[in-house]
Structure 1
Amino acid sequence: MWLTWIQGLTCYLFLLPWVGKYVGAIAWLGLSLLESLYCLAFGAGLAFLLRKWPRHPLLLLAVPAWYVAVEWVRVSWPFGGFGWVRLAWGQLGGPLAQWISIAGPALVAFAVVLTGYALSLLVHRRWVRGAVPVALTLVGGLLIPVVSPVWSSGSDGDDSPTLNIAAVQGNVPRLGLDFNAQREAVLNNHVRVSQKFADEVAAGKRAQPDLVVWPENASDVDPYRNQEAYDKIQDVAAQLGAPVLVGAVTRDDVGARNAIIVWDPQNGPGQQHVKKYLQPFGEYMPMRDLLRHVSSYVDMAGDFKPGDGNNTVDAAGETLGVATCYEVSFDEAYRDSAHHGATVFTSPTNNATFGTTDMTFQQLAINRMRAIEYDRAVVVAATSGVSAIVNPDGSVDQRTTIFREGLLQADVPVRDTETLSARVGPVVEWILVALGAVAVAAACITTRSTRSTRRNPPIRTRTKR
């Protein structure tokens, strides 16, 4: 049990130092310690299972299902959960990655733990019981790309229509939490790169885009309240002759919003996606009054209000999926997009507040797995990098370097496929969660019952004959 906690804590400590890059080690250490407690819970349940049924063949199902159950709690609670670190994301490029298109990250986690547990059986020379699951998961993962078109509905393959999309990376004037301290500097950077792009299009050096994607917070002032910012965006959209997805910090009657606005070259701002899965302790501060006594950084956190849309907008004749930055780690974000007809996914993001850490590359890995999960191209536009155009198979077609201005442009496949994950992913996850929870509960109850019987054996009486 304690080994699983130590393993989990070590994992989080190595993966999450970016959390404390500019706010101090206490945030990094605190989050790592909190997340490692779920590993402790997994270890406790695992101990009950192995103690109660050490050689039972159904452990091949119960152990990985219990892991899925614990992970489900971790990515759901508290404060909406933390799905940034999941077993599935680490399988990118491996033979088990393709399972994500069948039933999402939960099934990948199940396959990974099943394979690991089966390998442990091989070490203990239980050849048949160990070899069969390993073969099924590995070979199955390799075969999924071959048979998945049979399971998907909609158009697929190389004959898909395309949309010419450009992603603009305007860069920021400085690293850190005050990346936008210089008023309109971030906006001006993105306007400048976009104007240069428009000039190249006019000169015939680049193709006319159907859509241009700006990053989250590309407009560091509210264009609805600042006429100068409004005019700059309108002018550059007109020059490009294409709708622009503009990431902007806006405010309405509810409060501050993190919005992605469809900016039409003729009609100006239209539909918008308001970020609905907000980052706790960054975009809003839970228990703000209490935590003021712990850290002076508390009031540097935002006070954004979540949206309630379906993570889609309509632009360039297509329905686009939008998952803004942190939203990519939530299963519901792109799933809602797919259910509402999104044919291309976009991920506007601002990673400048995390400097040169691994955060932006971890986010790209998640987006690549989401591309496989839903058979969609993903256009990632980041203020400071890394921006990328991801193919539906998860491969990266183009990408930028961090903290340099850049521009990506490609003919992106437009698909209306609906993978099995989009259709049955949540149901499979719930079944696995229930299976794991019931197995551990049964092990706990029967173990305690056995102990009670041993401590208080029934009194036997002799009868005289």
Structure 2
Amino acid sequence: MPAEQGWTTDYFQGTLRDLTWLSLHPPGSKDGQRFDLIVWPESPSPFFLNDATFREVLASLARQSKTWLLVGAIGVDTASASPQQHSEVFNSAGLINPSGELAARYDKTHLVPFGEYVPFKRFLPFMDMLTDQIGNFGWGYSREPLDAGGQKLGVFICYESIFPNEVREYVQRGAGVIINLTNDGWYGDSGAWKQHLQMTQMRAIENGRWMLIGTNTGVTASVDPYGRIVAATGRQIRTALVAPYGLLSGTTFYTRHGDWFAYLCAIISMGAVLARFLISKPKPQL
């Protein structure tokens, strides 16, 4: 679904019907086949987690499929529940249990500047007048894995996948699988969608975890801990993917120590360059 698609009531309802149908009847599945997890992408429509119609559809799907459901949606905190003392909206992922209840919510912690918020907004009040595409999302504060009946899900949204030091926090805290919900519709036909996919593959390798990618317009895929794509859809296809994944518990060197080895290599390289110019060569003997 293209990013420029207008969000109307008909579009909202049609998208919800399509997602529900594909979740219950994914191509290639067998009648009565059970799944461990159903994943919807980031922002395929303006779904609000506190919207009664949306929640009832999710609850019905979860009960009918007897499956945990992870969905991209807009989370809302009312003024009474918000530390900011006013209502806030978040770019979120909601986890629905098989009984149809909202079990947990992840709020995006690393927002896109000038896309999801305006940095230094009080100094740039004119930005809201330039475009209606700038969001006003609140910041999430937790990178704790979501518990789906014993499955520890490390969930992050869209371009959060390009920050390796942040993704490894989920695995440090016990995530057995990592999941990226994204909307690649913003990239159009550029090569950015492919770069994004390759970055998520690197996060799988770095942390030795299966990576599930649920995307709008891009490549929905399952990536093994070696970075190999074991199942994937094509781009810009209205479909669903039945994909394998596993839950792992070990940690890699990178998960434990992060980028210090790369920093050490950079320091050694800089030292070698400086030494080349600072240490004078011995003068030839006559």
TM-score after normalising by structure 1: 0.53
2:34 to 208, 212, 227: 208
Superposition deviation, residue 181 in structure 1: 2.1
Name the residue aligned to 1:246: 71
Name the residue aligned to 2:5: 179
In the alignment, the residues of structure 2 paired with residue 219 and residue 249 of structure 1 have an alpha-carbon distance, to the nearest angstrom, of 10
2:147 to 314, 317, 325: 314
Name the residue aligned to 2:237: 404
Name the residue aligned to 1:326: 159
DSSP 3-state at the match of 1:208: coil
In the alignment, the residues of structure 2 paired with residue 299 and residue 440 of structure 1 have an alpha-carbon distance, to the nearest angstrom, of 49
Q: Residue 199 of structure 2 aligns to which amino acid in structure 1?
A: I
Question: Which structure carries more relative contact order (alpha carbon 8 Å, separation 6+)?
Answer: 1
DSSP 3-state at the match of 2:181: strand
Superposition deviation, residue 185 in structure 1: 2.6
Contact 1:195-1:236 at 8 Å conserved across structures: no
> Does 2:18 align with 1:192?
yes
In the alignment, the residues of structure 1 paired with residue 209 and residue 223 of structure 2 have an alpha-carbon distance, to the nearest angstrom, of 9
In the alignment, the residues of structure 2 paired with residue 396 and residue 410 of structure 1 have an alpha-carbon distance, to the nearest angstrom, of 10
> Does 2:207 align with 1:374?
yes
The alignment of Structure 1 onto Structure 2 pairs a total of residues equal to 271
Superposition deviation, residue 187 in structure 1: 6.3
Structure 2 residue runs without a partner (length 5+): 281-286
Answer with 1 or 2: which has the greater Rg. Answer: 1
Superposition deviation, residue 419 in structure 1: 0.8
Superposition deviation, residue 221 in structure 1: 2.7
Contact 2:165-2:259 at 8 Å conserved across structures: no
DSSP 3-state at the match of 2:244: strand
Q: Are the structure 2 counterparts of residues 420 and 288 from structure 1 closer, same or farther at C-alpha, using a change threshold of 3 Å?
A: same
Structure ranking higher in helix proportion? 1
Q: Are the structure 2 counterparts of residues 436 and 187 from structure 1 closer, same or farther at C-alpha, using a change threshold of 3 Å?
A: farther
Name the residue aligned to 1:232: 57
Superposition deviation, residue 324 in structure 1: 0.9
Superposition deviation, residue 193 in structure 1: 3.5
Superposition deviation, residue 380 in structure 1: 0.4
Superposition deviation, residue 394 in structure 1: 0.9
TM-score after normalising by structure 2: 0.82
Name the residue aligned to 1:217: 43
Contact 1:216-1:350 at 8 Å conserved across structures: yes
DSSP 3-state at the match of 2:235: coil
Superposition deviation, residue 432 in structure 1: 3.9
In the alignment, the residues of structure 2 paired with residue 239 and residue 391 of structure 1 have an alpha-carbon distance, to the nearest angstrom, of 29
1:413 to 246, 254, 261: 246
Q: Residue 233 of structure 1 aligns to which amino acid in structure 2?
A: L
Superposition deviation, residue 229 in structure 1: 1.5
Superposition deviation, residue 436 in structure 1: 5.7
Q: Are the structure 2 counterparts of residues 293 and 422 from structure 1 closer, same or farther at C-alpha, using a change threshold of 3 Å?
A: same
Superposition deviation, residue 345 in structure 1: 1.0
Q: Residue 20 of structure 2 aligns to which amino acid in structure 1?
A: S
Q: Are the structure 2 counterparts of residues 242 and 421 from structure 1 closer, same or farther at C-alpha, using a change threshold of 3 Å?
A: same
Name the residue aligned to 2:283: none
Structure 1 residue runs without a partner (length 5+): 1-171, 451-465
Q: Residue 235 of structure 1 aligns to which amino acid in structure 2?
A: S
1:12-411 superposed matches below 5 A: 172=1, 175-176=2-3, 178-183=4-9, 185-186=11-12, 188-199=14-25, 204-205=30-31, 207-218=33-44, 220-224=46-50, 226-252=51-77, 253=82, 254=84, 255-288=88-121, 297-411=130-244
2:259 to 402, 406, 426: 426
DSSP 3-state at the match of 1:341: coil
Name the residue aligned to 1:19: none
Q: Residue 48 of structure 2 aligns to which amino acid in structure 1?
A: D
- % identical equivalent positions: 25
Contact 1:390-1:398 at 8 Å conserved across structures: yes
Q: Are the structure 2 counterparts of residues 262 and 308 from structure 1 closer, same or farther at C-alpha, using a change threshold of 3 Å?
A: same
Contact 1:219-1:247 at 8 Å conserved across structures: no
Contact 1:245-1:263 at 8 Å conserved across structures: yes
DSSP 3-state at the match of 1:406: coil
Superposition deviation, residue 180 in structure 1: 4.9
DSSP 3-state at the match of 1:407: coil
In the alignment, the residues of structure 1 paired with residue 247 and residue 26 of structure 2 have an alpha-carbon distance, to the nearest angstrom, of 25
Contact 1:328-1:334 at 8 Å conserved across structures: yes
In the alignment, the residues of structure 2 paired with residue 233 and residue 239 of structure 1 have an alpha-carbon distance, to the nearest angstrom, of 10
Superposition deviation, residue 420 in structure 1: 0.9
How well do the aligned residues superpose, as a CA RMSD in angstroms?
3.0
In the alignment, the residues of structure 2 paired with residue 242 and residue 321 of structure 1 have an alpha-carbon distance, to the nearest angstrom, of 18
In the alignment, the residues of structure 1 paired with residue 23 and residue 148 of structure 2 have an alpha-carbon distance, to the nearest angstrom, of 20
Q: Are the structure 2 counterparts of residues 214 and 235 from structure 1 closer, same or farther at C-alpha, using a change threshold of 3 Å?
A: same
Superposition deviation, residue 182 in structure 1: 2.0
Structure ranking higher in strand proportion? 2
Superposition deviation, residue 204 in structure 1: 4.0
